[in-house]
Amino acid sequence: MTTMTYADAVDAGLAAAMERDDRVITFGEDVRLLRRTTLVRFGPDRVLDTPISEAGFVYMGLGAAMGGLRPVVEVMLVDFLTAAWCPLINNVAKYEAFSGGIQRAPLVIRASIGGGYGDGGQHEQTLWGSMAAIPGLKVVVPSTPADAAGLMVAAVEDGGPVVYLEHKLLGEVWLDVLAGSRRLGMSFDIPPDGASGEVPESIAATPIGQAALRRDGGDVALISAGVGVHRALEAAERLAGSGVQAAVLDLRSIAPLDTAAILELAARTGHVVVVDEDYVRGGLTGEIAALIAEQRIDARFARVAVEETIPFARHLESAVLPNTDRIVAAAEHCLDLQGRSA
């Protein structure tokens, strides 16, 4: 095991994949500078800068995958990936199904996500629910350095299209580049266990579609992904102070969902709170509620998600993003214990 940052772990996962398979290349906006350690290890033929042409280079990634490469296409922020919604949703996601399974698209689309550093609603979305809704796309969201490395290896080895989303609040490179995090008077609520942690020397694939139980408890299940997992762990700690035992499930993959793990926890605790940094409507929270209802599991349900355009002002942003106070309040509401935990 080596201790490394989340950002270094993403790079380590990509490097492991590139070392094992020389068909793996990476391209995207500014990658030669942003991924400079990858550049000096593997050379400029395998690490390429693109113009700011997201639709074009996502299509190009699909073509390269069909042509025999294993591209990791980086779109700086997921918000910019919407400029490539057409290739992502109409092409990348569809070809395997259209071809009766004979046309594979071994492609990773990589983008940074999430808020909490004051960049406003055009640069802080997660959008994972919208992408997870599309048949043919896998969507993974690592919340720890170990999973950041393991899921990158898994995404490259998967053989089909995988959207790999890394949270900016966990990647110090992003915060330094985007927000000047080392300024005096500027602080961000960075989960320490997400930003840095142990990664195995030899990086193995983290299975896609397998959730991880980060904390066990029998009273209520807090289900989340990305930074939300760490907020849920903080909330669980506070709930424990008032005698409530909360389990925390890290989904790790939004598509496919680990349905078995979700249903087991829902049945066992009878109380489910989904913590989702994506929009509340038409997304992950509603999907999990539906899964539980479809199985006729008798569980109380609450959700903490983004309910409006993320505002720029820090205090407003903080209120709109899922925070620990909101999670504790939602759990207490679920358990009819309003106001118990300080």
Facing residues of 302 across strands?
273
In the region spanning residues 205 to 224, those forming contacts with another protein, defined by CB under 8 A, are none
Instruction: Single out the residue of 9, 14, 47, 163 in contact with another protein (rule: CB under 8 A).
Output: 47
Stretch that binds another protein, among 49-57, 224-232, 281-289, 328-336 (CB under 8 A): 49-57
277 binds another protein (CB under 8 A): no
The amino acid present at 158, given as its one-letter code, is D
52 counts as binding another protein under rule CB under 8 A: yes
Tokens representing 26? Answer: 């990476």
228 burial via Cβ count (<10 Å: 0-12, 13-18, 19+): buried
DSSP state letter for 86: I
32 binds another protein (CB under 8 A): yes
Choices 181-189, 191-199, 236-244, 266-274; region in contact with another protein by CB under 8 A: 181-189
Q: In terms of CB distance, is 30 or 307 closer to another protein? A: 30
Residues 101-160 that bind another protein (CB under 8 A): 117-123
Provide, rounded to whole angstroms, the least separation between the CB of residue 91 and another protein.
Answer: 15
Of 2, 3, 21, 33, the one binding another protein by CB under 8 A: 33
Q: Choose which of 67, 100, 182, 336 interacts with another protein (CB under 8 A).
A: 182
DSSP letters spanning 13-44: HHHHHHHH-TTEEEEETTHHHHTHHHHHHH-T
Helix (H) or strand (E) holding 66, with range, is helix 54-66
Query: Which residues does residue 246 pair with via DSSP β-bridges, in sequence order?
Result: 220
Amino acid at 323: N
Total binding residues toward another protein, as defined by CB under 8 A: 55
Which strands sit side by side in the sheet containing 138-140, from one edge to the other?
A: 47-49, 24-28, 70-77, 108-113, 162-167, 138-140, 253-255
CB of 311 to another protein, least distance (A): 4
Residue at token pair 């070809």: 95
Task: Select which of 123, 167, 230, 271 is catalytic.
Answer: 123
Q: How far is CA 292 from CA 223, 271, 296, 335, in A?
A: 13, 11, 6, 17
- Taking the least distance from each CB to another protein, the nearer of 97 and 186 is 186
Nearest-angstrom CA–CA distance, 39 and 26: 9
123 catalytic per annotation:
yes
Annotated catalytic residues are: 123
Q: Which residues bind another protein (CB under 8 A)?
A: 8, 15, 18-19, 29-30, 32-33, 36-47, 49-56, 79-80, 83, 117-123, 176-180, 182-186, 309, 311-316
